[in-house]
A and B are shown apart, each in its own frame.
Chain A
Amino acid sequence: MEPYKFDVNNYRNLLKKYIASQDEKSLYQAEQFSKLSMQHNISPEEIINVHIQALKELYPDLPTEIDSSMNFLLETMISYGLAYQEFQSLREKQGELESEISIAANMQQTLLSTTKPDIEGMDIGAISVPSHQMNGDYYYFVTDESNNLGIAIADVIGKGIPAALAMSMIKYSLDSFPDTMRSPSVILEHLNRVVGQNVANTSMFITMFYALFNYKTGYLQYSSAGHEPGFYYCAAKDQFFEIKTKGLVLGVSCQVTYEQLDITMEQGDMVVLLTDGVTECRIGERFIETEEVLEVIRQYMHLPAQEAVESVYRHFERLQDFQLRDDFTLIFLKK
């Protein structure tokens, strides 16, 4: 078939053929014509104008009633043409926004990156996957010279860009705490003040679990600011226990104290830290039960920690048809 140009001659010939034969081929060509017109940003009123011209050339004695009615149609199409142009420009704008967000997401990954420490006698696995482009979950590792490992895991209630912005604040506050300030409850009290002062009146809440682990003694102290409880696996009893403490989410009230508890990890024990993206995994219409989460963890926990968290993630990803509804973060700490 010959290439289509948007001109009256081409259209007139097509129209003439169709009026004579009423064949499907001409209609198919009309479809091609309309697609080509869209590619060249031809508005509906211009197509109608071409139609009117072609009609007048084919039927010089066109009744004035038909002529007027075609002009009437042209007038009514003007606003549709405008709406179409606006739609095109909004679509372009959307493309720009999407690429901007993806740059921001990369930036976020660079800003918030944390290095998983390599500690003899410990096996640590960590994974954090956003449900959209920007992650509202966060984890953080820090070590000091007294055999201590600090671990933070946090979740901004709310997703997307505002959540990601808030996370940068958390990271830089954590970075600025001196080595001497290690107690989980004190760290959470400080962060609570930082969050309260900086995001007051934004209805943004941040939950966080902070643990300080001495990898020589196995002594683990922890506090929680309303965060999803983690689990402690005791190898001797072959049982999971919930790690739960009382504490208000960050940023709600300025004067909050956080309860601090502790456990001692023995050889073969494991601590599991997570966000609600794991525990509130949805299968069809229902939320997953804690027992089911633990079953899945148990299924993979014999693997090296990093491989284990990745396997658990892939398991849940598949359960949810590869569509995460919330940011997903999971940490295994194996002794």
Chain B
Amino acid sequence: MITKSSVQINKEWDIVGARQMGRELAKDLGFGTVDQARIATAISELARNIYLYAKKGKIAYETVEKMNQKGLKIIASDQGPGINDLSKVMEDGFSTSGGLGAGLPGVKRLMDYFDVVSEPGKGTTITTIKWVR
């Protein structure tokens, strides 16, 4: 069974809603407390990036399965300004230097799979998956 759902991000409080939905799905899938917290933090980071840089976008959730393993796929997409220098953004210490948060490298660490596609002027789509251990 595949579940799909999503949360629109238009204002800062939507970040909380996005976390909540992610956590509930994670709990249902059987994620432990630590992984639930990690997934919520990753969603926070993704939703916050949308809110700060693209103003609006959405976080979509999908349950995924591979070889007896269940996972949660989270897709953050927006039609914002896009990211000019992806390799710079993915560098440790680049976005976190001001203490602003975990940045994309943080999201990558929290999750098991991470992919980002971005076109300047058109928007960004970040796809991540966490597998149930």
Chain A residues close to B by CB (< 8 Å) = 45-46, 49, 52, 71, 74-75, 78-79, 82-83, 85-86, 89-90, 93
Contacts and interface: CB of A to CB of B under 8 A. Distances in A.
Contact of A75 (B40, B93, B102): B40
B34 A49 contact: yes
Given A75-B40, A79-B41, A52 B33 contact: yes
B47 interface: no
Contacts of A79: 41, 101-102, 106
B106 A74 contact: no
Q: Is the interface of A mostly helix, strand, loop or mixed?
A: helix
Contacts of B6: none
Contacts, number: 41
A90 B34 CA distance: 24
A83 B32 contact: no
Interface string B66-108: 0000000000000000000000000011001000011001100
B11 interface: no
A84 to B, nearest CB: 10
Contacts of B122: none
B110 A82 contact: yes
B38 interface: yes
Contacts of B60: none
A194 B114 CA distance: 49
A93 B92 contact: yes
Contacts of A89: 92
Contacts of B38: 45, 78
Interface in B16-65: 32-34, 37-38, 40-41
Contacts of B101: 79
B37 A74 contact: yes
Contacts of B33: 49, 52, 71, 74
13 contacts: A45-B37, A78-B41, A79-B41, A79-B101, A79-B102, A79-B106, A83-B96, A83-B102, A85-B109, A86-B105, A86-B106, A86-B109, A93-B92
Contacts of A90: 92-93
The 6 lowest CB-CB distance pairs between A and B, nearest first, are A82-B106, A78-B41, A82-B102, A49-B34, A75-B37, A86-B92
A75 B101 CA distance: 14
A245 to B, nearest CB: 48
A78 B41 CA distance: 7
B100 to A, nearest CB: 11
Contacts of A49: 32-34
Contacts of B93: 86, 90
A49 B32 CA distance: 10
A181 B33 CA distance: 78
